[in-house]
Chains A and B, each alone.
Chain A
Amino acid sequence: MNLSTSYLGLDLKSPLVVSASPLSEEISNIKRMEDSGASAVVLYSLFEEQIRNEQQELHHHLTQGTESYAESITYFPEPSEFHLGPNEYLNHIRNAKEAVDIPVIASINGSDVGDWINYAKLMEEAGADAIELNIYSIPTELDTSSTDIERNYINILKCLKSTVKVPVAIKLSPYFSNLANFANHLVDAGANGLVLFNRFYQPDIDLEELEVVPNVVLSTSHARRLPLRWVAILYSRVEADLAATSGIHQASDVLKMLMAGANVTMLCSALLRNGIGHIKFIEQEMKEWMEVHEYESVQQMRGSMSQRNVADPSAFERAQYMKALRSYKPQV
């Protein structure tokens, strides 16, 4: 049985890729991912804020209160060298590349064009096989139009593409007026792959403290529906690889995504919940299902249930909405 696929020009032994998460902060975990059957790993994200703020914060704390009082002119030793977060990240890429044979994809996360993009070049030099660009922003200004937002994404992508030679995938949110149109523009701007979708951590309110609090909720298989729809719609309509992320928890999720048209599926919550070894379990389940259903390869099923290839393309569109509502029987 052939599980191999390709993503961003990389030949992968299976469509089971580990997405960016704290799990990849430890080299030992990355090794375990490979041992459990992951075909590639996207490293945890290096954030634009991390690059900027860490420097600012370190500088602030090293200078706070200094040169003010004769007895305590400074408060910290001043080493001649700092291993700032980005450098640590670059070392991490090197160490990961040494530790495993599977491709290592670096992830960089930002929201505006800036110097941070230059780090992609350093990631490439450190050995990253590809770059995943994660643009994470919540536009809130009343005078920012959707055109402005899309232009900003394109600019960031173009800027990054001009700095690196390795393939670049862009991780998107689903919140665009016409995702298909925008995806097409991104591909024109050089995106080699689209990662669908970014999960925004939605804030919550603490009623006792009257504070807005971050609330990390791990995904379930239900979250798979949204990327499934868009993978299916975009398959073969844009010239970029498609990675499906969010809600990939079991073999059936992977199979569905592949049928919708994904090149790869990305795992995060499932591993955080069940452990890294869960990859092996999914792979085994996949194989069993494919065997029972007499599929020989992943390529055979890829895109088979995409909008283009299904009998009823409207199933992925508005018409399906009416059907869904009609089928719902409220319990009173």
Chain B
Amino acid sequence: MDGNDAVTHVAYRTNEVIAIYPITPASPMGEISDSWAAESKPNIWGSIPSIIELQHEGGAAATLHGAAQTGALTTTFTASQGLLLMIPTMYKLAGELSPTVIHVSARSLAAQGLSIFGDHSDVMSVRSTGFALLGSCSVQEAMDFALISQAATLESRIPFLHFFDGFRTSHEVSKIEVLTDEEIRAMIDENQVRAHRARRMTPDSPVLRGTSQNPDVYFQARETVNPYYEACPVITQRLFDKFAELTGRKYSLYEYYGAPDAERVIVQMGSGVETTVETVDYLNAQNEKVGVLKVRMYRPFSAKFFAEAFPETVKEIAVLDRLKEPGSTGEPLYVDCVTALNEAIANGFGKFKSMPKVIGGRYGLSSKEFTPSMVKAVFDNLSKENPKTHFTIGIHDDLSHTSLDFDPSFSIEPEHVFRGLFYGLGSDGTVGANKNSIKIIGENTDNFAQGYFVYDSKKAGKMTASHLRFGPEPIRSTYLVSEANFIGCHQWLFLQNFDILKNIKEGGTFLVNTHYSADKVWDNLPRVAQENLIKKKVKMYVIDGYEVATASGMGRRINTVMQVCFFGISGVLPRDEAIEKIKDSIRETYGKKGDEIVNMNIKAVENALSHLQEVKIPEKVTSTIELNPLISGDAPEFVRNVLGTIIAGQGDDLPVSVLPDDGTYPTATAQYEKRNLSETVPVWDPDVCIQCGKCAMVCPHGVIRVKVYDKELLKDAPETFKSIEGKDKSWKADNHNFTIQVSVEDCTGCEICVDMCPAKNKQETRLKAINMEEVKPIHAQEKENWKFFLSLPEYDRRKIKIDSIKHQQIQQPLFEFSGACSGCGETPYVKMVSQLFGDRLVIGNATGCSSIFGGNLPTTPFAVNPEGRGPTWSNSLFEDTAEFALGFRVSIDKQQEYAAELVKKLAGDIGDDLASAIINAEQHTEPDIFDQRERIEILKEKLKHIHSQEARSLEMVADMLAKKSVWGFGGDGWAYDIGYSGVDHVVASGRNVNLLVLDTEVYSNTGGQASKATPLGAVAKFAAAGRPVEKKDLGLIAMTYGTCYVASVAMGARDEQTLKAIIEAEAFDGPSLIIAYSHCVAHGINMTTGMKNQKAAVESAQWMLYRYNPDRLLRGENPLQLDSKAPKIPVSHYLDMENRFKMLKNTHPEEAKFLYAKAQQDAIRRYQTYKYLADRHYELNGTANSEVDLKEALSKNK
């Protein structure tokens, strides 16, 4: 069970109304609750809680508020920015003494950059709301404190925020003692529940709350709650004691652990405490006198309880905060600690006679590792005569020199704890297998078990690292495994890229999945691997996991095979017993999915061990193979030294000084990160090709490129470079050739290009103009060809006819090699926008998939053209992107206006003709913009010779006189839900902002939760029983303003319509909204044929194609053009192509039947509605000056 599971176990059972909204890492709590409710699982009162998803966390908090006020037991789950959105309501909840618990997987806040990982930035931001703050340190505590906070809020009437560290606790899998329903019932006082009910708002006994108060009484009224805050710690401690009686697990508000005569003590909250406890034990065993004070209740902060918790021998205290409060006198826990001790000493409570030395420090931001070595460094610092305060630990701060030195080789991992490290690919099932191994060991032995999983920053071709520990005592090591008894490398490629054996301990065991047999593998190992194997006397085994998995029907999922091998050689369980347990576990895990799945896994179990081979390790290193360079040699210095270090997995070693201080990074960096992910790549057949450009258009990763160029340039071409005469008349006339080139090093192998290619080989119809082939034989030649291809000049943009795909695709994409999922349905739209307007593009990007593939370090796919121009990109928040982009627009327009004013003022010096040409430039077309840029260059040249303040000012804003295209990108979660009010405002603003909604119809980035874009009948998280209502028609709503360009597109259905819509939207001098159907892995589809799903969605009228252009009104035309034809396939044909719909038949067959039928009716109605709107006759009509005129005008517009 992980931390989120543990909390939900209690929160679900003890509540009636659960308001949810997805946010990492808290989402699983809402997901589990929704799933349980869909399966009619009751709470401890035998009733199924109502689960309600909101449009954002502010909405969730408000619903919580409403539910609490009307007498329900209510809870919610959140983290990070989500918690910040709840702040206004939290003041209300506390001010009205409303019992409720908010469970928070504590996470960093977005500042110079966003982070999904854990620290206390979020929970500390709500410390003044009046909520009680109770922090857990482990998965066990997360479950226990979830219950204690629930009991405490009912008794104290203070709303509680229960927090535990994001990922480290929320996602750590651990063996814990699970609370029974009886224990839960025993802790919840029914009298308090009744008292809560009795306070509810009801017209049967009406009250008034939420009054507006004036200076006369507000202050006094604010002080009325003091007795509750004084009582709260006492109540909570009493409940801790009651809990101890029930379960044997004892807790205190402020709990000291360590030497009774300790002199040096660390004060800390959260999961880091566990590591400190472990280190304290180690150091005290070395005759040191140290301890740790665990702060469990941070608000209300009881100075009395706190001061009394320390041994009187304490002389030095280091308070560790897991956040940064810039500009403060110290981080919050430190400040509270100092204040509390001062008060204690001044008022004579607690054990201190005089003030001990108290210093503060920061650690663990964004889940930064916090290890025993760091704990030791903090204690060592305390021992110094002048210890460093306001220090940092865990980083190297060479800028402000705040950091303490620590010894990374210091390890206290006990011998009796087995430590395993497993490296796998997301798609091979490694993490799942490891979670299963923990379950097997946890359930079948007396051992305790712990699992923590580290994922990659990319979505395609990602490496996962599983850190497992098993041991006879509870495991407190809340840090990664550094000295592993066992390392499993489930992908051979990792060995070639990374020093995988760096963390193996002497005498450890190494298992690798490889095609090489035991007698061949040695000669193919990189030098560094051989060195480690010999130096550390490692036992090595190989298995061809893919061969066994394939033979067993498992395809590329080698999880079961590798798991069996692990148990077979690690000795953590007797081999035969382990095999039986794995089989039992397979039956339990997969039984519900059918015998077929069970049988193939069992088959894999039975086949695995016979294919396992031990490798005889020679005595000498023989390899000359070096690790693959992960970044290309021609990368700029910053990319090589900083981003390259991150790519190599060494980002922890980067010192402060090398990182940008304001979060600004260069673009065009993905090109240097050569990931070589795919074993097969597309290969172009020029003779079959019809030069339509569709393969390049759909390529989600921008690896397929088209160029048209002068034949003469081919004289320097590599021998294997492919080229053919251009088919288009204009290309022929210019003596131009045509090439489609693939960057094989960047391809993810999704094959969507092959699926999309319309040309077939006339001799062998199975072949197309682009076909997948093995990369190995062509890798070197294609690298060379790619290099030559890049050296060919870009086609003159002024001559490209952008209104047809085959011409438009010659435009250079300024979005390339993203880390999006293989076969992504969003990126082709982004790429198309980058091709059309990339050199003048300003992007505000909502948080979500597009911000992750767009801006997740280390590299970005946004690129630059040969002139150095390209998209400039930023992510503000999830909810504010439309307004953020509006800010760009207003700012740019203002600077443009100012620049024009200056041009006018300086017209005499610049020359009237140039000034007039610049000010009046149309800038509708590429040549217009090109000409304007030339004029600006002339202007800048002239300004150099004008000596005035105005000239200097104009130099700074002159570039703004060239057109800038402002876009807001984001997903449906943004546009339909959390950011909808902003979208609506921009749509109504009249300003030239283009909003592109990459509509995957779920919150894809956080794992597929339902949004208001989720269609009727789709199964999604938060809609486990199928979404019961129709998708919101965002486009239709936007059209009602009549002043916004609106389009609904689906590239896979009609690419030319998509292109037309994007061009028209950008050309429209006002707001525009493009809603783009984006197929997604969260749909449960074959990603290779995702474009076919788009087509089926349109052909069934499940998705409409249309364009609404207000400019047409000026011409007396109906602004709405319906690009969809009448439905030609039943909706069910489309629905059955996608697991999100189809699985409802497997989970809720009756509902599925109803919703399928309803979906068909909705589709017909939808088509008829749009058809009606698009068929309406429009005419230019004059001003109605009289009732007669008005009647006439009305009669024209029937």
Q: CB within 8 Å of B: which residues of A?
A: 51-52, 54-59, 61-86, 88, 91, 115, 210-211
> What CA separation (Å) do A67 and B465 show in the bound complex?
11
- Chain B residues whose CB sits within 8 angstroms of the CB of A73 once the complex forms: 28, 171, 431, 1007
Partner of A84, one of B431, B453, B594, B1139: B594
Kindly state whether residue B607 has any CB partner on chain A within 8 Å. Answer: no
Cβ-defined partner of B1149 (8 Å) among A51, A71, A80, A83: A83
Residues of B within 8 A of A81 (CB): 39, 592, 1147
The one of B116, B590, B592, B1005 that contacts A80, using a Cβ cutoff of 8 Å: B592
List of A residues within 8 angstroms of B464 by Cβ: 67-68
Is A79 in contact with B1147, judged by CB distance below 8 angstroms? Answer: yes
A55 touches B593 (CB 8 A): yes
What residues on A are CB-neighbors of B1024 within 8 Å?
Answer: 77, 79
8 Å CB contact of A68 from B117, B455, B592: B455
List of B residues within 8 angstroms of A68 by Cβ: 425-427, 455-456, 459, 462, 464
Smallest CB separation, B851 vs chain A (Å): 11
Q: Is B99 an interface residue (CB 8 A)?
A: no
Complex CA distance for A82 and B1145, rounded to whole angstroms: 9
Given contacts A56-B597, A80-B39, contact A69 B557 (CB under 8 A): no
Given A59-B597, A71-B25, A77-B34, 18 more A-B residue pairs with CB atoms under 8 Å apart are A59-B590, A61-B1139, A64-B427, A65-B427, A66-B426, A68-B425, A69-B459, A70-B167, A70-B455, A71-B1007, A72-B1004, A74-B1007, A75-B1008, A76-B1008, A80-B592, A83-B1145, A210-B760, A210-B765
Q: Once bound together, how far apart are the Cα atoms of A55 and B462, in whole Å?
A: 26
Cross-chain contact B1146 with A56 (CB below 8 angstroms): no
Contact with A along B546-584 (1 / 0, CB 8 A): 000000000001000000000000000000000000000
Residues of A within 8 A of B1145 (CB): 83, 88
Q: Is A69 a contact of B431 with CB atoms below 8 Å?
A: no
Cβ B1147 vs Cβ A59 within 8 A: no
> Bound state CA distance, A88 and B1150, in angstroms?
11
Q: How far is the CA of A73 from the CA of B451 in the complex (A)?
A: 15
B821 interfacial by beta-carbon distance below 8 Å: yes
Asked if B35 is an interface residue, CB under 8 A from chain A, the answer is yes
Specify which chain B residues have a CB less than 8 angstroms from the CB of A56 in the assembled complex: 596-597
Inter-chain contact B595/A77, CB cutoff 8 Å: no
Q: B1004 — which chain A residues lie within 8 A by C-beta?
A: 72
B1021 at the interface (CB under 8 A from A): yes
Q: In the bound complex, do residue A83 and residue B1147 qualify as a contact, i.e. CB atoms below 8 Å apart?
A: yes
| Complex interface: chain B residues within 8 A of A91 (CB) | 1149
Residues of chain B lying within 8 A (CB to CB) of residue A211: 765
B430 touches A67 (CB 8 A): yes
- Ranked 7 nearest A-B pairs via Cβ: A68-B426, A55-B594, A61-B1084, A61-B1139, A72-B1007, A67-B431, A77-B1024
Complex Cα spacing A79 to B37, Å? 11
Contacts A66-B426, A77-B31, A78-B35 given: A71-B594 contact, CB under 8 Å?
no
Interface centre among B31, B116, B171, B455 (most CB of A within 10 A): B455
B984-1018 near A? 1/0 per residue, CB < 8 Å? 00000000000000000000111110000000000
**Do B1008 and A115 have beta carbons less than 8 Å apart?**
no
B24 within 8 A of A: yes
Residues of A within 8 A of B35 (CB): 77-79
* With known contacts A73-B1007, A76-B1139, A79-B1147, A65–B821 Cβ distance under 8 A: yes
Q: How far is the CB of A245 from chain B (nearest CB, A)?
A: 27
A82 to chain B: which residues have CB within 8 Å?
Answer: 592-594, 1143, 1146-1147
On chain B, the residues within 8 Å of A77 by CB distance are 31, 34-35, 38, 1019-1021, 1024
CA distance A72 to B35 in the complex (A): 17
A84–B117 alpha-carbon span in the complex (Å):
38
B contact residues, range: 35 or more
Whether B429 contacts A64 by the Cβ 8 Å rule is: no
B293 near A: Cβ within 8 Å?
A: no
Q: Does B1082 belong to the interface (CB within 8 Å)?
A: yes
Q: Of the candidates A51, A69, A85, which one forms a contact with B426 in the assembled complex, judged by CB atoms under 8 Å apart?
A: A69
Residue of B nearest to A92 (CB): B1149
Chain B residues lying within 8 Å of A62, measured Cβ to Cβ, are: 593, 1084, 1139, 1143
Most buried by B among A63, A79, A83, A84: A79
Binary per-residue interface labels of chain B (30-45) against chain A in the complex, 1 for a CB within 8 Å, 0 otherwise: 0100110011000000
* Least Cβ–Cβ distance between A310 and chain B, in angstroms: 48
Q: Please, which residues of chain A bring their CB within 8 A of the CB of B593?
A: 55, 58-59, 62, 82, 84
Q: How far is the CA of A78 from the CA of B31 in the complex (A)?
A: 10
B432 at the interface (CB under 8 A from A): yes
Is A115's CB under 8 angstroms from B429's CB? Answer: no
User: Can you name the residue of chain A whose Cβ is closest to the Cβ of B1148?
Assistant: A83
| B889 contacts the other chain (CB 8 A) | no
| Subset of 26 A-B contacts with CB under 8 Å | A51-B596, A59-B597, A65-B1081, A65-B1082, A67-B426, A67-B432, A68-B427, A68-B456, A69-B426, A69-B459, A70-B117, A70-B171, A72-B1006, A73-B171, A74-B1007, A75-B1007, A75-B1082, A76-B1082, A76-B1143, A77-B31, A79-B592, A79-B1147, A80-B592, A82-B1143, A84-B594, A86-B594
- CA–CA, A72 and B1087, complex, Å: 17
- Is A88 a contact partner of B1149 (Cβ separation < 8 A)? yes
For residue A73, which residue of chain B has the nearest CB? B1007
Greatest chain B CB density within 10 A among A51, A55, A85 is at A55
Q: State the CA gap A51–B1084 with chains docked (Å).
A: 19
A87 to chain B, nearest CB (A): 9
Indicate if B599 sits at the interface (CB-CB under 8 A): yes
Interface residue B1085 (Cβ < 8 Å from any Cβ of A): yes
Does chain A have a CB within 8 A of B1140?
yes
A265 vs B1021: C-alpha distance in the bound complex, in angstroms? 49
Determine if B427 and A76 form an interchain contact, defined as CB atoms under 8 angstroms apart: no
Interface core residue of B34, B171, B594 (most chain A CB under 10 Å): B594
**Residue from B116, B596, B1020 with most neighbouring chain A CB atoms (10 Å):** B596
A79 touches B38 (CB 8 A): yes
Separation of A270 and B594 alpha carbons in the complex (Å): 37
A211 to B594, CA, bound (A): 34
Which residues of chain B come closer than 8 Å to A83, judged between CB atoms? 1145-1147, 1149
Indicate which residue in A58, A65, A67, A70 contacts B116 across the interface (CB closer than 8 Å).
A70
Q: Which residues of B contact A57 (CB under 8 A)?
A: 1139
For residues 640 through 688 of chain B, which have their beta carbon under 8 Å from a beta carbon of chain A? none
B799-838 contacts to A, CB under 8 A, are 821
Find residues 1131-1150 in chain B having any chain A CB closer than 8 Å to their own CB: 1139-1140, 1143, 1145-1147, 1149
- Contact flags (1/0) for B439-461 with A, using CB distance below 8 Å? 00000000000000101100100
- Docked pose: A63 CA to B429 CA in angstroms: 8
Shortest C-beta distance, A91 to chain B (Å), equals: 8
Point out the residues of chain A lying under 8 angstroms from B432, CB to CB. 63, 66-67
Chain B residues closer than 8 Å to A63, beta-carbon distance: 429, 432, 557
Distance between Cα atoms of A39 and B378 in the complex (Å): 87
Q: Report the bound CA distance from A68 to B431 in whole Å.
A: 8
Q: Give the distance to chain A from B923, nearest Cβ to Cβ, in Å.
A: 40
Contact string against A for B residues 781-803, beta-carbon threshold 8 Å, 1 for contact and 0 otherwise: 00000000000000000000000
Q: Is the CB of A69 within 8 A of B462?
A: yes
Please give the distance in Å from A92's CB to the nearest CB on chain B.
10
Interchain nearest-CB distance for B1009 vs A (Å): 9
In the complex, chain B residues 154-174 whose Cβ is within 8 Å of any chain A Cβ: 167, 171
Contact residues in B for A76 (Cβ distance below 8 Å): 1008, 1019-1021, 1082, 1084, 1139-1140, 1143
Docked Cα-Cα span, A51 to B594, in Å, equals 9
Q: Report whether A55 and B1008 are in contact in the complex, using a CB–CB cutoff of 8 Å.
A: no
User: What A residues does B453 contact at CB under 8 A?
Assistant: 67
Q: B28 contacts which chain A residues (CB < 8 A)?
A: 73
**B27: nearest residue on chain A (CB-CB)?**
A71
A51, A75, A79, A88: the one within 8 Å of B39 (CB)? A79
Closest to A56 in B: B596
Q: Which chain B residues border A84 with CB–CB below 8 Å?
A: 593-594, 1146
CA distance A68 to B464 in the complex (A): 7
> Chain B 408-447 against A: per-residue CB contact (8 Å), 1 yes, 0 no?
0000000000000000011101111000000000000000
